[in-house]
Amino acid sequence: MNHETHQNDLRFLRRANRTLGIALAIIGVGMLFLVFAVLSLVGSERTIVVPPNIEKTFWVSKDKVSGEYLEQMAGFMTWLVLDVSPSTIDWKRNVLLTYVAPDDFAGLKTQMDLEAERLRSNNATTSFQIQQFTANEKQQSVVATGRLRRQINGVDVGDPVVRSYLIQFKHTGGRVHLSAFKEIPYGQNGQQPRTPDGNAAAH
C-alpha cells in the first residue's frame, strides 16, 4: 500500500471523527437545553376555556375585561363551586382549577379538596340561585349574591339562605384567571348591583 495514500486516509478519518465529535457535542448541548426547557414548563401550563354560553357583548383591553364578561365568568364559577354534589364535585373542581392563576393554584385546590371531602362525608349537596351581580371593573372582581340551598341525604337543611361571594379575577397574557372565591358578609359592597339579566337590581 502506498504510504502517502495511507497517511492521507488517516488524516481524512481523523478530520471526519473530529467533525462528528463536534456535531455530537452540539446535539448533546441542544438536548440538554431542551430537557431543561420541558422541565421548566411542567406544572406551569394552564388550559383556559371560556364559559359554555356567551350571552352578552363585552370588551377586552390589555389588562382588564368589561363588567359584562366578568359577570358571565362569575356565573360560571359559582355554578362550578356552589352547585355540587358528591358525584359532581371532583370533575367540577378539575374544571375550575384550569382557570386558576398559577400563584393561587395551591390555595384554591386545597379549598376545593376540603369541600369535596366534606360533601362526601355528609352525603351533602348545595345549589345556588343567583339573584344579583356586582361587578367592579377597576378591581376585576364580582360579588355574586343569591340563595344557597343545602341538603343532606336528600333532605333540606333549613330554608335557603342569602349568601354573597367575592369572585376575584386576574387578566394577564390575554387570559382571564380566577384568583379567589370566598364568602363575604351579605351586602358588603359599595357597587350598584345587577341582576343576571343585566338590569340594575331593585333595593
The string of pLDDT tens digits covering residues 179-189 is 999 999 876 55
192 occurs within a structural domain: no
Looking at the structure, tell me whether residues 87 and 23 fall in a common domain. Answer: no
Residue 194: the pLDDT is: 45
Q: Decide if 133 contacts 196 (C-beta within 8 A).
A: yes
Other CB atoms closer than 10 Å to residue 196's CB: what's the count?
18
Paired residues of 84 in beta bridges: 126
Looking at the structure, tell me whether residues 19 and 79 fall in a common domain. Answer: no
Overall number of domains in the chain: 2
Q: Give the domain CATH number at 127.
A: 3.10.450.230
Residue 171: the pLDDT is: 77
Kindly state the cell numbers that stand for 196: 343576571
Reported confidence tier of residue 18, pLDDT bands at 50, 70, 90? confident
Residue 189: the pLDDT is: 55
CB half-sphere exposure, 150, CA atoms < 13 A = 12
5 occurs within a structural domain: yes
135 occurs within a structural domain: yes
Residue 195: the pLDDT is: 44
Looking at the structure, tell me whether residues 95 and 180 fall in a common domain. Answer: yes
Query: Model confidence over 153-162: pLDDT tens digits?
Result: 988 888 899 9
Looking at the structure, tell me whether residues 141 and 81 fall in a common domain. Answer: yes
Looking at the structure, tell me whether residues 73 and 171 fall in a common domain. Answer: yes
Q: Decide if 132 contacts 139 (C-beta within 8 A).
A: no
Query: Model confidence over 43-92: pLDDT tens digits?
Result: 444 444 455 555 554 545 556 777 888 898 999 999 999 999 999 999 99
pTM: 0.63
Q: Decide if 146 contacts 133 (C-beta within 8 A).
A: no
Whether 193 has a pLDDT exceeding 80, the answer reads: no
SS (H, E, C) 120-170: HHHCEEEEEEEEEEEEECCCCEEEEEEEEEEEECCEECCCCEEEEEEEEEE
**Greater pLDDT, 163 or 50:** 163
Domain, as residue range, for 33: 1-42
Query: Model confidence over 97-153: pLDDT tens digits?
Result: 999 988 889 998 998 899 899 999 999 999 999 999 999 988 889 999 999 999 999
Looking at the structure, tell me whether residues 23 and 89 fall in a common domain. Answer: no
Looking at the structure, tell me whether residues 22 and 91 fall in a common domain. Answer: no
Looking at the structure, tell me whether residues 127 and 73 fall in a common domain. Answer: yes
Looking at the structure, tell me whether residues 134 and 92 fall in a common domain. Answer: yes
Mean pLDDT within 28-40: 58
Looking at the structure, tell me whether residues 9 and 108 fall in a common domain. Answer: no
Looking at the structure, tell me whether residues 86 and 167 fall in a common domain. Answer: yes
Please state which of the ranges 5-9, 14-18, 33-37, 49-53 shows the lowest mean pLDDT. 49-53
Looking at the structure, tell me whether residues 164 and 119 fall in a common domain. Answer: yes
